[in-house]
Every structure is written in C-alpha cells, then in structure tokens.
Chains A and B, each alone.
Chain A
Amino acid sequence: MTQNNPMVSVKNLSHVYMQGTPLQHRALDEVNLEVAEGECLAIIGHTGSGKSTLIQHFNGLIRPQSGSVIINGLDVSQPKLDIRTLRRQVGLVFQNPEDQLFEKLVGDDVAYGPFKMGLPLEEVRRRVHWAMELVGLSFQEMKDRPTFALSGGQKRKVALAGVLSLQPKVLVLDEPTAGLDPRSRKELLERIRTLNREEKLTVIFVSHNMEEVAQLADRVYVMANGKAVLDGTPRQIFGNQELLREHHIGTPESVHILYRLREEGYEIDPGAYLPEETALEILKLIKR
C-alpha cells in the first residue's frame, strides 16, 4: 500500500518481565503493528495478553527491549530521545484516571501539563478553555469547581481534558468508559469519536467492552499471549464466531441474537454488529 508514514509503527517488539529470574514472563512476542494518522484502533484481548505492556511503549513508560517503536518519526528505542517531546505527541489516559486528579480546582488540574511545558499564561488559559470545551465541560461554569465534588463521569472528562491540553497527535486510552453509567459512557464515546473524526486525532484504545469497540473502532487488533491473533474491521472480527470462541473474545449482545438465528438455519449476516443492523437483518428475513 502506498501511504504516508504511519503515525505509529511497531516492528518485532518483544518484552520480557523479570528477565533472568524464575518468574521470567514474556509479555510481548515479536509484535508488529501500524496505525495510520487519524485512525481509531481498538486493542482487545484477555487479562495478560500483553495489551497494557504494548500501550505503555507508546509514550515511553517502557522502552523497547528488542524491536522498535516509532511514533510520528520519534524512535522510542533511542536512549537520547527527549521523553517530554514524545509525551507531547502521545497522551496516555490510564484506567480510572479520575483517581489521579490532584489539584483542588478543575481548571488547575487541566492546566498542569501546559503550565509545566512553560507556555505563556495566556496560551495555557487558551488551551485549558479549548480542552475543557472539547470534552464537554463548560470552561466558565466548571473551571473553579472543586474536583472532589464531581461525579465519576465528570472527573474522567477532567482527566481527559488534562491530557488533551498538551495537544497530542495520538490519544491512547486504557478502558475509557469502564465503570461509567450508560449516559456518561455514551457522552464520552461521542466526544472521543468527535476528536477522532473532526480533530483528526489518532486514537488507540484498550477495551473489554465489545459494545464500545463496536461503536468506536475503525479497526480491531486482537492480542493473545503477547501476539496479534486477529486484525480487521469490527465487521470482520465479530462476524467470525469460530475465531472469537477460540480466543475467548466476547461479542456485543445483539451479535448473540444473530448467531442464534444462524444456528436456527436462517441466512443471516453475523457481521451486522450494531442493534440497528441486527434489526434490519431480522426485517430482511421476515419481510422477504
């Protein structure tokens, strides 16, 4: 494929924890992955499949032991690489980031990153304003709110705004909506989708929620035992029941209905993974 350089390029990446001890454990085994600019990639896999180890390479929390990771031209394996330059390009939002808010006021928490970058105060203010509005927090209303008095969903938005205020090129999220209620979940997913589609932000997220994967991802990268076992569109992934079973990957609820209908002998496309598409498939059957 002729294409510009990918935003993220991982080549033959391996990682072994506790190397040379009896507890030695190979977390990544010759992983290859390319993510294009503006793409939205979901990484899924069981506990211990290596997905967390992989994403920690993206902003240099872990440096490659062997193989390479290149982000927007920056080589993470280069010991001389200025880690701050890398972290301005890649914003990593951890699981339950709301536990990591530390300033008393919302605005101060979002401002922390740009402030540490040494930006002029006016620019810091402009970025905080931009980032807060982007995640759906009104700058006027919320900047002086104490962080402890926010709901879980609001806190998570503050944490996300804090990362966005650095204006990264790549946003990496670990379980972005785990533990949120349906309303906050839907809202946050819509925000992330807007960032991806309109701001052209490259988004990589780890998730075990298949509804979330179905709604957000352009492409799904499935890991098991430190390796990629599948790589394709949600339609390709969810439409392949045998592979899903083999790798213990769940499906969105509505896909269960499709598989059951297929078992009953109906001709049906199991790749229709959204409830609306599932309804259309059923209508096709009964109206025919």
Chain B
Amino acid sequence: MSTDPIIRVENVSFAYQLNQDQQVPVLQNVSLEVFPGEYVAIIGHNGSGKSTLSKHLNGILTPKEGDVFVNGINTRDKARIHEVRSRVGMVFQHPDNQIVATIVEDDVAFGLENIGTAEEEMKERIDFALEAVGMSAFRHRPPHHLSGGQKQRIAIAGILAMKPQCLVLDEATSMLDSYGRQDILAVVRKLHSEGMTIVTVTHHMSEVAEADRVIVMEGGKIVLQGTPREVFSHQERLQELHLDVPDASRVAALVHTEYPAFSPDLIHNEEVVAEVNRVYGRRAEASGS
C-alpha cells in the first residue's frame, strides 16, 4: 500500500440548514483516509451520515468545517473540481436517474463529450468501458429497456470512461434483484483486482464481507472500523446500531451457541460449508477410532 492516500478526509463536519437558526448536524469531526487499491465499505442506518460522507469524496458536497483532499487537491477548490471528479467517480442508488441519453453508447460518452475528448480517443474509451462492465453487445440499444442491473452497469461504464482512480458506489445495488446485484459485484470485484480503489456504501452485509476495511457510521461519527471479520464479530454492538451481519455469520453464531466447537467467527457462505466439513469430518474420525 502506498503511503499517500487517494482521499484524505480531515476533521470534516457538515450540517443541513433547515432555516436561518436551525440546522441538522450530519457529520461531526470525521477523519478518514482511503489508500490506492483499497476496498472500503461504509455502513450505518439511514441518517447515520454515510451517504453524506460519500458525497464529500468527490466534492458533490463540501465540508462546513474541515477539508477533503483528493490526490492533494482540496475539494473546495472550484477551479479544480473537474480534476477531482475525473479521479473519483460516483454511482448512485437509482438506475433511472443516472441515464441521460437514448442510446447506450451516447450515455457512456456523456462525460467525455463534456470534457471535449477527441473522437478517436472517445471511441476507444467507450469500447474499454463497455467491455469492462460486459455490456458491449448493448452498445446501440436504448437504455430504458434494460434491467436495473444492466442500467447500473451502464452508469458504471460512463464513469470508467473518465478513467478514474477511485469508484464510489452509494447504495448502487439497493434497488436491484439478486442477479443484478451479483452482476455489479462481479464488475466491482474485477475492477478492484485490476487496481481500482473502491468505496461502497451499502446495506447488504454479504457485500460488506468482500471489502478490505469496513467503516461503521452512527450519529455522524465513525464508531467502529476494521476488517469485515473484526467488525462482524461485534454482533451485539451492531445490533444496538440496528445493523445486520451476513447470513453466514448469523447461521454460524446460532450453530455455535448449541455446539461450541463450531466456529462463530465466519462471514462467507463457503466458510460455513468448510466448517461443517471440518466438524463433521473430525466427529466421523472420532467415532471411527
């Protein structure tokens, strides 16, 4: 891991102004660094500040107090906001709100046209982006006939075409069915393995289990942080925060209560299968001898 973070959030506070004298504090003195190649998941219930935090990562929102730097550029610097956004791209929750054109390739080209990319280069980048999300075959189709998952892949392609270093997904899978979600996760996994930095805001704990680091938000602050395994081992604390754990963790914990030799410390489905094999095998050995 390189020593220079891609994103540095320093003592950021933010509040929404209700009227002249009333404001709702959303972020309170949050600090966070995201390093190149990292896969970070941010979780927390609605109103915990996680979405507001993610909108600070590419300058959609700027802090009331504190600073956010993207590759050393302060997101308050309006003159350089395009540079910030070309490095950190964002995918949102609703597929339909992110589609602007009537043909898939035009939609992917939208950002490139805005920055005046030459035609030859534009074509190359669209090829690359559609290929990366597995949607090349849909290039000349109208996007409104696509499924939610396919639309989200087009939205991701539009961002990839800008060649960002970091992709921020703000509940990008929450409106999708399990197949659509699996498609998006496969794309994200591939991009990450090729070196892309990923920040994902999600309610799906099986998605969180794939990250390198999990950040738990509550009341506008970071209250828990660590690897998925560390974070999911705090089942009671998470319950207090009204957050789930992956089904695999729940199943393992339930089995463990009745059968202590079964490890409670599992987060992936495959780990549960392996643990059953281990316990079952050992027992079979014991009864055989």
Contacts and interface: CB of A to CB of B under 8 A. Distances in A.
A179 B175 CA distance: 6
Given A47-B148, A253-B246, A253-B269, A208 B178 contact: yes
Contacts, number: 104
Nearest to B282: A286
Given A208-B178, A250-B178, A183 B273 contact: no
Contact of A257 (B174, B175, B251): B251
Given A250-B178, A279-B251, A283-B255, A260 B270 contact: yes
B244 A248 contact: no
A252 interface: yes
Chain A interface, DSSP helix/strand/loop, else mixed: helix
A151 interface: yes
Contacts of A278: 247, 251
Interface string A39-60: 0000000111000000000000
Q: How many of chain B's residues touch chain A, expressed as a range?
A: 35 or more
Contact of B276 (A47, A208, A282): A282
Q: How many of chain A's residues touch chain B, expressed as a range?
A: 35 or more
A48 B149 CA distance: 13
A261 B273 contact: yes
A179 B93 CA distance: 8
B262 interface: yes
B78 interface: no
Contact of A181 (B148, B203, B270): B203
A260 B251 contact: no
Contacts of B272: 257, 282
Nearest to A286: B279
Interface in B40-55: 45-47
Interface of B: 18, 45-47, 93, 147-148, 171, 174-179, 203, 206, 242-244, 246-248, 250-251, 254-255, 258-259, 262, 269-270, 272-273, 276-277, 279-280, 283
18 contacts: A47-B147, A181-B45, A182-B243, A182-B244, A209-B177, A250-B178, A254-B247, A257-B248, A257-B251, A264-B273, A266-B276, A279-B250, A282-B251, A282-B255, A282-B262, A282-B272, A282-B276, A286-B280
Interface of A: 46-48, 149, 151-153, 178-185, 208-210, 248, 250-254, 256-257, 260-261, 264, 266, 275-276, 278-279, 282-283, 285-287
Given A47-B147, A178-B174, 14 more contacts: A151-B46, A180-B203, A181-B45, A183-B242, A184-B46, A250-B179, A253-B206, A257-B272, A257-B273, A264-B276, A266-B276, A275-B247, A282-B251, A283-B255
